[in-house]
Chains A and B, each alone.
Chain A
Amino acid sequence: MKPKYLSLIGDPPKGFATGVFGKRELLSGVVVLLAADCESAYALLPDFRTRVEGVVLTLGEPAMECVGPLLWHVSLPRESLDGEGVLLEVVRTVISMASGFRNEATVAKLGQERLASEQAQRSDDYQRVTNALQGQVALLAASENKLQTILDSVDACIYLKDPQFRYVFANRATRDLLRRRADEIIGFCDTDFFDETSAAHIRRNDALVLQKGKTIVDEESNTVRNTGKTITYRSTKLPLFGEDGRIYALCGISTDISALKEREAHLKHIAHYDVLTMLPNRVLLADRLHQAMVQSRRRHRLLAVVYLDLDGFKAINDRHGHGVGDQLLVALSARMKQTLRDSDTLARLGGDEFIAVLLDLSDRADSVPMITRLLAAAAQPVQIDDLVLNASASLGVTFYPQADDVDADQLLRQADQAMYQAKLAGKNRYHFFDAEKDRSARGMHESLEHIRQALERRQFVLHYQPKVNMRTGEIIGVEALVRWQHTERGVLPPGAFLPVIENHPLAIRLGEWVIEEVLNQMEAWQACGLRLPVSINVGARQLLQPSFSAHLHDSLWRHREIRPEQVEIEILETSALEDLVQVSKVIEGCKAIGVRFSLDDFGTGYSSLSYLKRLPVDQLKIDRSFVSDMLDDPDDLTILDGVLSLATAFGRQVIAEGVETEEHGSMLLRLGCELAQGYGIARPMPAGEIESWIRQWRPNATWRTIAPVPREWLPLLYAVAEHRSWNKALDDHMAEGGAGLPQIHQKCRFEAWWHSAGSQVLVEQRASLAEAEALHRRIHHLMRLCAVQDEREGVEGVEDARKELRIAVDEFIARILHALDASSEGKDTRR
């Protein structure tokens, strides 16, 4: 803005403008207003003096006065104004500067006022904020107190540590643990409170938290209280992060788990130890036994497992009560434990049963002293109150390792079995387990299961062996024989499996199946026009079932087409003798419905004649063992003859088993036995082959002609057998390199007969035997020669004589048999 020189008076000095002056002229910049007097100037604007910046100039003596903030009244002579006006210019300049200063001052003042106002506002704000903060702080303090109260009320130790491992907070539990006040903890480290080792352990995990940011869970540490008790703490430690992501503290929570640890130990103890005797229990025993077995194998040493059962304990318990029984157990346990080494284990299974595991034995004998001591300890009297109790123990012992692989359970079973044997043997003793016996028992156990499965899977079949009259050729029936069509072993005969189930309920199941199957088959044959009696083997167990008769009756009722007389039950002589009375009853019961009975394997039992009388059987079956050897065993022949006589005497029918050759059949016929079965007649065959076999079978032609030998000629049969036996014995001597020559009696059976009953025979009959007699003499000569040659030259020297002897014997036998057959012609000598 330009300074203005304005004049209110006419004829102003040079440079002054005249006119009407308003705001624009008066307020825009510094003004020098020439007026007659100040009032006339002031009148131009209402607030002239305060707003105009400049000078009100009047003419007169030099004078100057301040009339406004930036307004001066200057009086100057007119003459001084006509010049350059330097003075006024100076004044104007000064006023301009002052105006500027005043502006600046005003701005500054306004700025200061604003600042003060803002400061005041900020003070207000500050106060409000402070009040709010104080409120918040109060709240926080209250919250912190609350938190502190809560943290102090918990039993866990809660603490904070800074990155330098110094405590910055410790709750009451922590203070109690460290036995310090808060000010004695805050700022200090664990090295100030714990021993070096414990502090180092704590510091390791703290470092992981504070330096690596890890969270440690389940850190366990121990500390020893001043009482000497060790306290176990479980701690969780976690890092605390600030807003900048840095770790600023560690927060730890430690809980006293001593009680928990004690409970754990107690539970562990209970889990592994017997509460009464404090001996190891089954669980711990299993572990120790396993370890012992491993060690035993590694060191190649034996270990013994001893099963110990107190004798008479039950009686003591029953008589004196469980309290006394328990005390006895405790006392005996302690004594027995003392007899063992530290490395051995004595465990209680329960009740009065214990197991001892003896390690590091060089052999079985090594265990005997310890076992003996155990026995002695168990047998010592025990005083409980005013009672003196006596017990003893039965011990079963097994060893490991064994030939077969066994595990711990098997060892215990073995020892248990052996202990049982000790009990059976009289108690208060020990018994070693027999592995071999166990193997066969196990084999049997396995077989039972297989047999049961076979029954369920219908693997059993019946084969039938024909029974015939050798003389007439009549087929008198068949015997049902069970076979097992084993999936791996093929067709198994009864001997391979029946003994296994002999005393087992399976025998009954199988037997019932056989009966049912036979009756079904008989029905099938009948449908084809074949009425064939069938004999069924029934074992003692089945026969002696109370329901056997009823069951058989029921089966026959269901198969009503079958006549009971067609059914024959074969029972073993030995079975019958088990319970003669019951067997007789069963037989009677079955015979009442028409069923026949046969006594099988007759001659093998120890039945007396009275037993035979009491058994109401219809038929006797002579055991094959007598038949098979009768040709060359005069004793068997004799027995056979005796059996036949007995059977005849008691009116029982007789059938011989084991007829393997024509000769066997011939001999039986000569003895008067016509009925037979055996491989020489027919092998057992499936039911489907019976019909075709019956159609094609013809008896041996010779058999039809052989008649029973008269009784007086029977010794010749014995002689035949006798001479055959000599031949056989000589052959055995030759084959076995000198087994022993048969002893030839001077008077053999032929010799005896020849000179006794033989002398009473008809002359023509005797004449037919003359050649036989000559041969006989030669036979004896050759036998003597053999003996001499054998003695002189050994077996090789006998060869020639033997050949001659054989020829002679065969010729002799042929002549005798011829004579025998001739002697029975036309005579009814059947039995």
Chain B
Amino acid sequence: MRAVSASTVINDPYRAGVALGESLTEIDPEVVFLFSSIHYAVPDVLEGLHDGLDRDNVIVVGNTGDGCFGAGGVSDFGAAALGLNSHGKVQWRLERIDGLQDGVDGKLERLMERLAEKDKEPCWAYLVSDFRVDVSRIETTLRDRSRFPIVGGLAMDDRRGANCFVYVNREVINDALVVLAAYGDLGFSIVLGNSQRPVGRPGTIEAATINQIHRIDGISASDFVERETGKPVLQTDRGILSVRVVGPESPGEERLRSIMFKEAVNSGSLSFFGGVNAGDSVQVCQASQEIMIAELQALAEALRSSNRVPAGVLVISCTGRKSFLGALIDNEVAALRTAFPPGLPLAGFASRGEIAPRQTTSGYTHNLFHNMTYVAVMFWQ
């Protein structure tokens, strides 16, 4: 596998696309992952990308995010692209579903079925969805229906929550979910980092609906958090306070859930960016820059210690981490840059929710939906 990445801040979308495309032509990519800030979400960027590549037979998939990740760092504005060429060892397939407000779980199920047609299952996939979707359904469907690692996230804008776009070849679309599946000999490793400092004692969710927790250990969710942290849930806790949930029957599949502070519920319930289930164990956590940065370094070191030759890396990180780390967000790229030889191709985006399985000793868990999580997919040569 060969990879190359490029990034640009040329504000003209076409021009930016051309610049990216021209940068990627050296490897003649089979697929291009394109990530950009919301400002570039016009067809011109894809036209420019194709014009720059001077090819039409390339799969382009990507999306807008809260800025983009490139080999040089993280920026709030710009576009970045990662091109991959497996020299035919990997077969790529692009699938999409539109109209996410209507039966997304069924549509996703059928998409998964299409991907597994002819008894051939992908070895890996990238999934991106418009953020305006019931992620709990996506998570449930992915968890129940996918048996291969899927990494992805939710397209978003610059944290205004107004709009987002998904890139599919020459189209800029929304209200859609796109999956790029890889078949064949794709060497990759997925690492996931979301360590936070636990606060107080864990509880058990007694009542929950979709993404709302109503009662924990006999008291309201708000009271529970207040009891464990010693103070009420405040706006200032946004990005700092999360809860780690894990089901009783799958202890290795922990997920972080961020509190939706804009949707305070007077009854004491708390809403989260992601699904929650009654019976799950819940532990209040507090973000720590030190812990996050240390974990990034550990993850990079873990990838490095596999002693394989990297081709390129795809990064999906939570916009909440970008907001919390501030200028330190650059560590999410710098850690990899430091661990590997210079020039490691890298592209990614800040997402509004991350999709990835957790690594186990024998492979990966079910595909899970996360908040405040850093996901990196290292493609090996």
Q: Footprint of B on A, CB under 8 Å?
A: 1, 23-24, 27-28, 51, 102-104, 106-107, 110-111, 114, 117-118, 121, 125, 128-129, 132-133, 136
Contact = CB atoms under 8 A, between A and B. Distances in A.
A1 B19 contact: yes
A132 B11 contact: no
B47 interface: yes
A321 to B, nearest CB: 72
A107 B11 contact: yes
A444 B243 CA distance: 92
Contacts of A102: 11
Given A110-B77, A128-B235, A117 B160 contact: yes
A143 to B, nearest CB: 13
B199 interface: no
A133 B77 CA distance: 34
B263 to A, nearest CB: 13
Contacts of B15: 1, 27-28
Contacts of A27: 12, 14-15, 18, 48
A27 B12 CA distance: 9
Given A1-B18, A104-B9, A121-B159, 8 more contacts: A23-B47, A23-B51, A28-B15, A28-B18, A28-B51, A106-B11, A111-B77, A129-B234
B10 interface: yes
A23 B158 contact: no
A contact face: mostly helix, strand, loop, or mixed: helix
A118 B159 contact: yes
Interface of B: 9-12, 14-15, 18-19, 22, 37, 39, 44, 47-48, 51-52, 76-78, 158-160, 232, 234-236, 238
A132 B158 contact: no
A110 B78 CA distance: 10
Nearest to A125: B235
9 contacts: A1-B19, A23-B14, A27-B12, A27-B18, A28-B51, A107-B77, A125-B236, A129-B236, A136-B232
Nearest to A132: B234
A138 to B, nearest CB: 13
A411 B174 CA distance: 112
A321 B12 CA distance: 123
The 9 A-B residue pairs with the shortest CB-CB distance, nearest first, are: A106-B11, A24-B51, A110-B77, A128-B235, A129-B235, A28-B18, A107-B9, A129-B236, A27-B14
Contacts of B22: 1
B10 to A, nearest CB: 6
A114 B9 contact: no
Contacts of A51: 12, 14
A132 B10 CA distance: 42
A242 to B, nearest CB: 13
Nearest to B78: A107
Contacts of A121: 159
Contacts of A24: 18, 51
A103 B159 contact: no
A69 to B, nearest CB: 11
Nearest to A128: B235
B225 to A, nearest CB: 15
A533 B218 CA distance: 101
B238 A125 contact: yes
B369 to A, nearest CB: 25
Nearest to B37: A110
Contacts of A129: 234-236
Contacts of A28: 15, 18, 51-52
Contact of A111 (B76, B159, B234, B238): B76
Contacts of B76: 110-111, 114
A111 B234 CA distance: 28
Contacts of B232: 136
B93 to A, nearest CB: 29
B12 A132 contact: no
Contacts of B52: 28
Contacts of A136: 232, 234
Contacts of A110: 11, 37, 39, 76-77
A587 B235 CA distance: 118
Nearest to A121: B159
A508 to B, nearest CB: 82
B217 to A, nearest CB: 24
Nearest to A50: B12
B107 to A, nearest CB: 34
A132 B232 CA distance: 10
A80 to B, nearest CB: 29
Given A1-B22, A23-B47, A103 B235 contact: no
B17 to A, nearest CB: 10
Nearest to B67: A114
A302 B165 CA distance: 115
A106 B8 CA distance: 13
A102 B15 CA distance: 13
Nearest to A2: B22
Contacts of B235: 125, 128-129, 132
A398 B78 CA distance: 116
A114 B158 contact: yes
A136 to B, nearest CB: 7
Given A23-B14, A111-B77, A114-B158, A103 B234 contact: no
Contacts of A133: 234
Nearest to B234: A132
Contacts of B18: 1, 24, 27-28
B289 to A, nearest CB: 18
Contacts of A114: 76-77, 158
A107 B8 CA distance: 11
Interface centre among A102, A110, A125 (most CB of B within 10 A): A110
Contacts of B238: 125
Interface centre among A24, A51, A125 (most CB of B within 10 A): A24
B144 to A, nearest CB: 37
A110 B68 CA distance: 14
A117 B51 contact: no
A768 to B, nearest CB: 135
A163 to B, nearest CB: 23
B238 to A, nearest CB: 7
A128 B11 CA distance: 34
A103 B10 contact: yes
Contacts of B236: 125, 129
A117 B323 CA distance: 13
Nearest to B16: A103
A697 B131 CA distance: 139
